[in-house]
Chain A
Amino acid sequence: MKKINREHKVRNFQQAKWDEPIIFELHNAGERGVLLPHVESEIVDCVGDGLSALPASLIRKSAPKLPEISQNRVLRHYLRLSQEMLGGALNVEIGQGTCTIKYSPKINEEIASSPKMTELHPLQDESTVQGILEITHKLDLCLREISGMDYFSFQPGSGTQSLFTMASIVRAFHESNGEGEQRNEIITTIFSHPSQAATAAVKGYKIITLYPDKDGFPDLEKLKEVVSDRTAGFVVANPEDTGIYNTRIKEFTKVVHDAGGICYYDQANANGLLGITRAKEAGFDMCFFNLHKTFSTPHACGGPATGALGVAAKLKEFLPGPIVEKQGDQYTLKSDMKHSIGKVRSFQGVPQMVVRAYAWIRAIGAEGLKDVAEIAVLNNNYLYHHILKIRGASAPYIKGQRLEQVRYSWEQLTRETGVTTDDISRRMADFAHQYWTSHHPYVVPEPFTLEPTESTSKSDLDEYIASLTYIANEAYENPEKVKNAPYNSTIHRVDEQDFFENPEKWAITWRSYLKKSKEIEKIRS
């Protein structure tokens, strides 16, 4: 036998490329994907075709132009599309910093797909949903332990919706004290998620954004300057998206409390903190956890999800309803909170994620939660140590002190080679890696944000480092190669400027594409 050489340092990857048509192009008149349950002849005898009951003006005149496709072909189409992407289960998931994409255990998928979960109607009598209510309550108790908060609601459908809920509670709280009009400002920081500012703005708040000092910490002196009797609230992530933990957080929350504001905590970055430090002791009145980040529920291409919202006792009466309460050995839904903001999402949110998150905590246990935090931080610091050795890479602000993630910069590499972080992003696709730059504005020049979580092994980390090192070296030796990437992905470079920014040319649906491409053809000819 010949020894097969497997010593290449980066993955010799080729993304699936099925060259799959758009679903409409699979249309064959008369084909069917699925049949419906039949209508019994006795029913037809009683009511006829059912359609003649419709007012003439409401009868659809022309059928929707959906494609007609056989079942097998539909399945094949979507299976092929699924192969043309990198889910967290497939790739070494490090590149989507701030997203905490950890392993989503398969057993939890199985548990949550029980008909005892999937086939529950949200308005069933409480006596028939004791199981899901009990699980909700039990997860509430776990999150109380982890955060020090007094009560959790699972209604918000994401971190962003949870931030919106908190901004709504801040408003309702001040209104209940007669200060709703006066307190019209919310303070946040530039390295916190854009949703913090955006959701508060929807609630009518003026946004004040704090910038970092030279070490990357939010500026406490600046906070003292801007805080006033107009301050409604302070919202922040800690660690922020830089991965730096604000050591003086307690002073921040005190300054805001002294001015009469509410402090609420975006714990999207909590993965390095489990069992290590809590929201309560840092002085927060509210916090939220993304169950799809810290607590392993899958990201599902961007939801469904849950932003579990914890509040201190004084704010419980402001929560959206219903909330789950335990009375004796029964679980019940309560909606009559005195100052409730009403609702933010239909029914009880996304309960199948509550089931998954609770299952994950039970598979991890108290000690395991601390392991999660410690290993996530160890992995990140290992990555940090090696990335700083890559030519052209840096991590602005204080040296060290990074917890679960780091925002890095290619400033030097871009200056020296002309290769940007966006170029590197596309090139990383050639090696089967996700790679995320950062939200805008790019405060850190040519940014990239990596978060390895506890799920990556040392060899996973080494692989990611090797890929980035390879690309950085390539940028110095052959910058055009990086700039024209990708080569091994499903597709090549897209013309973004022209087709996504120009209303004459953009096509958000297939029908729009057909119209506009015809027009473009006409103009050309």
Chain B
Amino acid sequence: MKELKKVAHPYIPNTVPEIKEQMLKEIGVKTIEELFSGIPEELHYRETLHIPKALSEYELRRYMEGLLSKNTSTTEYLNFLGAGCWNHFIPAICDEINSRAEFVTGYAGDPYEDHGRFQALFEYQSLMAELVDMDVVNVPTFDWAQAASTSIRMATRITNRTDVLLPKTISPDRLKVIKNYCSPYINVSLIDYKEDTGQIDLEDLENKVSSNTAAVYFENPSYLGFLETQGQQISKLAKKHGAITIVGVDPSSLGIVEPPSHYGAEIVCGDLQPLGMHMNYGGGQSGFIATHDDIKFVQEYPSRLFGIAPTVVEGEYGFGDVYYDRTSFAQREKGKEFVGTQTALWGITAGVYLSLMGPEGMYELGKSIMQKSQYAMQQIGSIPNVVASRFESTSFKEFVVDFSYTGKSVKEINKYLLDNRIFGGKDLSEDFPELQQSALFCVTEIHTKEDIDQLVSVIKQCINSK
């Protein structure tokens, strides 16, 4: 037996030598090594791992803060990046609740141990249901991309068809996730958009939709920021062919913009990140799915769905899993897709956010984003040779700025902005070559007039520079 160490590790109480010995004695084993006798010698790793030796808590803090100090955050530079992850105001209470030890370290307990988790997630489902005006919302999945992917698979099972139609303006990354999730048996095709407006080309849709189409999926606002105004026509067209309409939506728009269920969407999905999640370098994403309370749809969810129920004592709210037998937990490969750890804490946070905001808050949020982004578009568009927005459609929060006539590439402009402590818009020139030198800018309620004016002034300087 190797020599017992003298100092117990703070995270590992039973490294106290006497306790270790006492436990070994009690179970009738001489050395810890004996407990690993099931591992054949040839698989025993006898070398020491090349991992540095342990740091104390203070040393760890110094070291990790040193590494993180190499980052420059959006609190230091002005940020106009969006493209799937957005800079919003986060009420302090969102952080207070999602850093409570009970929620942070909770996991998969039953309703009797984890009543609070069940109620908080049931409430999240209920609040989100009001925002989208539908009766069923899931415990959140990974992100919008996964929510869209699962919505699509739900539609293929409901219709027993294998073709799906997506807009060409979809986020290229989201499309990658969907394609991988759909392969090998679901065919994904893209619908063209109108060059001047970005709107879905209804003619192209009409040509492509058929009796094999399981779903027509589109986004509102689109990845490129504009609002799709033909929702009603698209869903009618889909319905005519027996296909399901799925709409991906930015929930921060829903205080002012009609929810997709009002123009024919049967499945609605999107990202919760705008509702109280820090960007966290992309780690704040969280996907939701909503449908009507129709068994045909409900039975196709892979996710957990928490329901409310009475208990044996009058006056108590109880909770639990609705129709658990759908899931892979219950049925392995015969369940619907798969379920497991996803982003429950962000669901709870979105619930807190919506409770704080109320209908007025969501209305003001939408209105303020509309005002500030329109102001930004107007100001950027007033710079000679800069077109904002590239599309003749109403935008929400994000808009495409076309720099093609400035003689400068987006890359050059963004470099200049960066040197002036500004994160410029997402460069679209590779993903959407037809838009030439265009970038996707994001303006939310957090931007001040001064921030926007600063951006405009630096863009001007850049364009005028040699």
Contact = CB atoms under 8 A, between A and B. Distances in A.
A118 to B, nearest CB: 4
Contacts of A499: 307-310, 320
Contacts of A53: 370, 374, 394
A4 interface: no
Contacts, number: 712
B247 to A, nearest CB: 12
Contacts of A507: 307-309
Interface in A258-313: 275-278, 281-282, 290, 292, 296, 298-305
A47 B281 contact: no
A185 B363 CA distance: 52
B89 interface: yes
A395 interface: no
B384 interface: no
A470 interface: no
Contact of B60 (A23, A81, A362, A374): A362
Sort A-B residue pairs by CB-CB distance and give the 3 closest, nearest first: A347-B282, A33-B356, A365-B54
Given A23-B355, A160-B341, A276-B39, A369 B51 contact: yes
Interface in B149-167: 153
Interface in A420-448: 425-426, 428-429, 433-436, 439-440
Interface string B38-52: 111011110011111
B330 A440 contact: yes
B222 interface: no
Given A36-B361, A117-B71, 9 more contacts: A39-B368, A50-B370, A51-B256, A86-B109, A104-B105, A121-B281, A247-B38, A345-B177, A385-B28
Interface string A389-408: 00000000000010100000
A57 B232 contact: yes
Contact of A60 (B50, B255, B394, B445): B255
B281 A158 contact: no
Interface in A82-123: 82-91, 93, 96, 99, 101-105, 107, 109-111, 113-123
Interface stretch (B180-188, B200-208, B209-217, B454-462): B180-188
B341 A68 contact: no
Contacts of A37: 89, 368, 445-446, 448
Interface stretch (B116-124, B235-243, B400-408): B116-124
Contacts of A344: 177, 180-181
A250 B42 CA distance: 10
A87 to B, nearest CB: 4
Contacts of A24: 123, 126
B100 to A, nearest CB: 4
A369 B108 CA distance: 26
B337 A130 contact: no
A413 interface: no
A237 B441 CA distance: 46
A369 B426 contact: no
A124 interface: yes
Interface in B53-111: 53-55, 57, 60-61, 63-65, 67-75, 77, 79, 81, 83-85, 87, 89, 91, 93, 95-97, 99-111
Given A64-B362, A508-B293, A118 B279 contact: yes
A355 B61 CA distance: 12
A104 B99 CA distance: 12
B371 A44 contact: yes
B110 A429 contact: yes
B311 A494 contact: yes
Nearest to A84: B116
**Best-buried of B91, B120, B355, B394 by chain A (most CB within 10 Å):** B355
A511 B130 contact: yes
B61 A32 contact: no
B143 interface: yes
B107 A96 contact: yes
Contact of A491 (B36, B316, B358): B316
Contacts of A491: 111-112, 115, 311, 313, 316-318
A218 interface: no
Interface in A328-352: 341-352
Nearest to B24: A378
Interface string B230-263: 0110000000000000000000001111110011
Interface residues of B, number: 209
Nearest to A99: B107
A51 B352 CA distance: 26
Interface string A156-173: 011111011000100100
A474 interface: no
Interface string B328-340: 1111111101111
B355 A74 contact: yes
A523 to B, nearest CB: 15
Given A194-B332, A195-B340, A508 B307 contact: yes
Interface string A350-366: 11110100110111111
A379 interface: yes
B385 interface: no
* Most central of B43, B312, B446 by chain A CB within 10 Å: B43
A40 B112 CA distance: 50
A317 to B, nearest CB: 15
B135 interface: yes
B229 interface: yes
A129 interface: yes
B258 A59 contact: yes
A132 interface: yes
Nearest to A61: B258
A82 B102 contact: yes
24 contacts: A36-B368, A39-B371, A53-B370, A55-B227, A63-B363, A71-B356, A85-B113, A91-B113, A99-B107, A109-B99, A209-B332, A282-B43, A301-B121, A350-B283, A353-B283, A363-B54, A363-B55, A366-B52, A384-B27, A385-B26, A426-B112, A494-B311, A495-B311, A508-B125
A506 to B, nearest CB: 5
Contacts of B394: 53-55, 58
Given A117-B71, A351-B280, A499-B309, A343 B173 contact: yes
Contacts of B139: 302
Contacts of A230: none
Interface string B360-393: 1111111111111011001000000000000000
A509 B126 contact: yes
A225 interface: no
B179 interface: yes
A107 B145 CA distance: 32
B81 A124 contact: yes
B344 interface: yes
A200 to B, nearest CB: 7
A455 B343 contact: no
B23 A378 contact: yes
A301 B345 contact: yes
A134 to B, nearest CB: 6
Contacts of B14: 375, 378-379, 454, 456-458
Contacts of B114: 85-86, 301
A401 B38 contact: yes
B367 A50 contact: yes
A503 B358 contact: no
- Among A59, A90, A378, the most chain B Cβ lie within 10 Å of the Cβ of A378
A33 B357 contact: yes
A466 interface: no
Given A64-B130, A197-B332, A458-B23, A350 B280 contact: yes
B285 interface: yes
B54 A171 contact: no
Contact of A301 (B22, B117, B310, B445): B117
A33 B355 contact: yes
B29 A381 contact: yes
Contact of B12 (A199, A276, A375, A500): A375
A198 B180 contact: no
B258 to A, nearest CB: 5
